[in-house]
Chain A
């Protein structure tokens, strides 16, 4: 039953991805000012949204780990697995944002990169979570999970700054399309394509997040079994 549900979810996700692509390429019109290059928005914006949500998952996991590490060891391990999974999958989506953005920028602005508020805060966010992942990968000792949890909370503080950056400081990056100033928004003929791609990338993200969580839980169980075997030897 569980396998059937997973199979159906994978099929649904793939169908959504295909439908999202069809909407982005064949249904949505070219932008009047930017032409075809504007279609990068259908991958760029959903990737940023998914990255933000998964960094929030990492934040919840980190807080949960710190709150439960003393009294509920098993629960703390589950929280830690969510924290790591959220951070790692979030970094994958953030990497997509930081590569598709400059490609778009090169055609729209004539430059690959500028130290604009939105771009810089996004790069800082990526660097914080990369250091989180490097800490998890290379540091050893009983305090690694605790240190990582603190870094995860610290990193999540940058998410609202990234979100608000093009509202607080008007520089190169365009003003917010949704929830921005008066007159902001998208042509109705493009909204559907963006929402379908948003849904598709969320579905894809949840799929790989769940897989990453499972891998991490398996890793924790192997590490615990190895530690126990070493103690008994």
Chain B
């Protein structure tokens, strides 16, 4: 594997990882918000 191909691979992996961090981070935030509202509604 030449240097350019290694860099391409690293950049591609970074893009995929960042996509999932953004999506799962948002999902986690939404889950926390939902849980806190459920508690609020139960009170």
Taken residue by residue from 1 to 34, chain B's Cβ proximity to chain A (1 for < 8 Å, 0 otherwise) reads as: 0001101110110111011001100110010011
Chain B residues positioned under 8 Å from A136 (CB to CB): none
Q: How far is the CB of A44 from chain B (nearest CB, A)?
A: 7
Chain A residues positioned under 8 Å from B18 (CB to CB): 96, 99-100, 103
Q: How far is the CB of B16 from chain A (nearest CB, A)?
A: 6
Is the CB of A118 closer than 8 A to any CB of chain B?
no
Is the CB of A130 closer than 8 A to any CB of chain B?
no
Chain A residues positioned under 8 Å from B22 (CB to CB): 92, 95-96, 99
Instruction: Look across to chain B and name the residue whose beta carbon is closest to the beta carbon of A226.
Output: B40
The verdict on A214 contacting B34 (CB below 8 Å), with A36-B8, A37-B12 known, is yes
Instruction: Look across to chain B and name the residue whose beta carbon is closest to the beta carbon of A92.
Output: B26
Chain A residues positioned under 8 Å from B33 (CB to CB): 215
The verdict on A100 contacting B15 (CB below 8 Å), with A208-B26, A219-B37 known, is yes
Chain B residues positioned under 8 Å from A96 (CB to CB): 18-19, 22-23
Instruction: Look across to chain B and name the residue whose beta carbon is closest to the beta carbon of A24.
Output: B16
> Contact between B34 and A215 (Cβ–Cβ < 8 Å)?
yes
Docked pose: A107 CA to B26 CA in angstroms = 27
Q: How far is the CB of B31 from chain A (nearest CB, A)?
A: 8
> Contact between A43 and B8 (Cβ–Cβ < 8 Å)?
no
Chain A residues positioned under 8 Å from B19 (CB to CB): 43, 47, 96, 99-100
Of listed A106, A204, A214, A215, residue having the most chain B CB within 10 A? A215
Chain B residues positioned under 8 Å from A157 (CB to CB): none
> Contact between B23 and A92 (Cβ–Cβ < 8 Å)?
yes
Which B residues lie at the A interface, using CB under 8 A?
4-5, 7-9, 11-12, 14-16, 18-19, 22-23, 26-27, 30, 33-34, 37-38, 40-41
17 more A-B residue pairs beyond the given contacts A39-B12, A95-B22, with a C-beta to C-beta distance below 8 A? A35-B8, A36-B9, A36-B12, A40-B15, A43-B16, A92-B26, A99-B15, A99-B19, A99-B22, A100-B19, A104-B15, A211-B27, A215-B30, A218-B41, A221-B41, A222-B37, A222-B41
Instruction: Give me 26 A-to-B residue pairs in the complex whose CB atoms sit less than 8 angstroms apart, sorted by A's number.
Output: A35-B5, A35-B8, A36-B8, A36-B12, A37-B11, A40-B11, A43-B15, A43-B16, A44-B15, A92-B23, A96-B22, A96-B23, A99-B18, A99-B22, A100-B18, A100-B19, A103-B14, A103-B15, A211-B30, A212-B30, A215-B33, A215-B37, A221-B41, A222-B37, A222-B40, A222-B41
